[in-house]
């Protein structure tokens, strides 16, 4: 469904917008415009024995010289694969303290998934295409989600009471390491307004020629 938060762990998208008694909904907005913010990572921490996290491999795809999705969240110990759907080679890397790695020039054969053992924000780049930028948030929270176009994240199966809440967005500030912190109560809704201090990246559009080349390359792979 368009506009709904991508989810994992204890996150559940609730049909029709209704909240269960133990659910919580967080809406993230830009404080300047009041508009909902896509690609915000929302974390909730619950004081209880941790359950086993889903560590099945996520994917960050390279398509049209862009990382898709722009923001991915995985639990500590989670893995991410980096398939290349372009007809040009990429060289994926990160120098972030949470994970330093590089996947040197490759095209069709997807390299082994990278495991992320340490919590934190990992900034991705491509050594061939400087404009390519994406983020992997490695989370040790009980529950986490990435907001969709409506700015919402919905959580189910929360025990009664207030819980620690953290929110991150790529444009909070230029180091990409700052978080907003607060509290959220099970069964309640919470609006979070973020002051965005980092500039928005320039939108990169695919030219008609690039589109034709991409389609020709995909057709060649099918044969």
pLDDT digits (tens, 9 = 90+) for 155-188: 988 999 999 999 999 999 999 999 999 999 999 9
Q: What is the mean pLDDT of residues 97-112?
A: 94
Q: Which DSSP category does 186 fall into?
A: T
Structure tokens, 51: 């359950």
- Tracing tokens 């792979």 back to the chain, one arrives at 221
Q: What is the pLDDT of residue 47?
A: 83
Please state, for a pLDDT cut of 70, what percent of the chain lies above it. 77
User: Cα 116–84–129 angle (5° rounding)?
Assistant: 90
From 193, 201, 159, 117, select the one nearest 10 (Cα to Cα): 159
What average pLDDT does the structure give for the chain? 84
- Backbone dihedral region for residue 216 (phi beyond 0: left; psi -120 to 50: alpha; all else: beta): alpha
- Tracing tokens 């095209």 back to the chain, one arrives at 107
Strands (E), 15-161: 24-30, 41-45, 58-59, 61-63, 66-68, 71-75, 78-81, 90-96, 99-106, 114-116, 120-126, 133-139, 143-146, 152-155
**Prediction pTM value:** 0.80
Place 199 in a pLDDT band, splitting at 50, 70 and 90: confident
- Tracing tokens 């020629």 back to the chain, one arrives at 209
Edge-to-edge strand list for the sheet holding 152-155:
152-155, 24-30, 189-194
Q: Mind listing the domains of the chain with CATH numbers?
A: 10-48+142-223 (2.60.40.10), 51-136 (2.60.40.420)
pLDDT digits (tens, 9 = 90+) for 200-218: 765 555 545 445 545 555 5
């Amino acid at each position: 469904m368009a506009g709904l938060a991508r989810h994992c762990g204890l996150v559940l998208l609730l049909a029709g917008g209704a909240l269960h008694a133990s659910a919580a909904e967080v809406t993230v907005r830009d404080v300047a415009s009041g508009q909902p913010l896509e690609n915000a990572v929302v974390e909730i921490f619950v004081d209880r024995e941790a359950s086993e996290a889903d560590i099945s491999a996520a994917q960050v795809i390279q398509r049209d010289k862009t990382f898709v999705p722009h923001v991915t969240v995985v639990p500590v110990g989670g893995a991410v694969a980096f398939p290349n759907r372009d007809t040009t080679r990429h060289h994926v890397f990160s120098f972030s303290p949470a994970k330093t790695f590089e996947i040197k020039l490759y095209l069709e054969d997807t390299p082994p998934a990278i495991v992320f053992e340490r919590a934190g924000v990992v900034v991705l780049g491509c050594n061939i295409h400087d404009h390519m930028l994406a983020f992997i948030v490695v989370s040790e929270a009980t529950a986490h989600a990435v907001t969709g176009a409506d700015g919402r994240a919905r959580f189910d199966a929360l025990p009664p009471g207030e819980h620690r809440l953290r929110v991150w967005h790529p444009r909070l500030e230029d180091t990409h390491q700052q978080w907003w912190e607060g509290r959220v109560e099970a069964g309640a809704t919470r609006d979070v307004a973020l002051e965005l201090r980092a500039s928005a990246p320039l939108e990169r559009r695919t030219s008609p020629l690039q589109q034709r080349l991409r389609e020709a390359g995909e057709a060649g792979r099918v044969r």
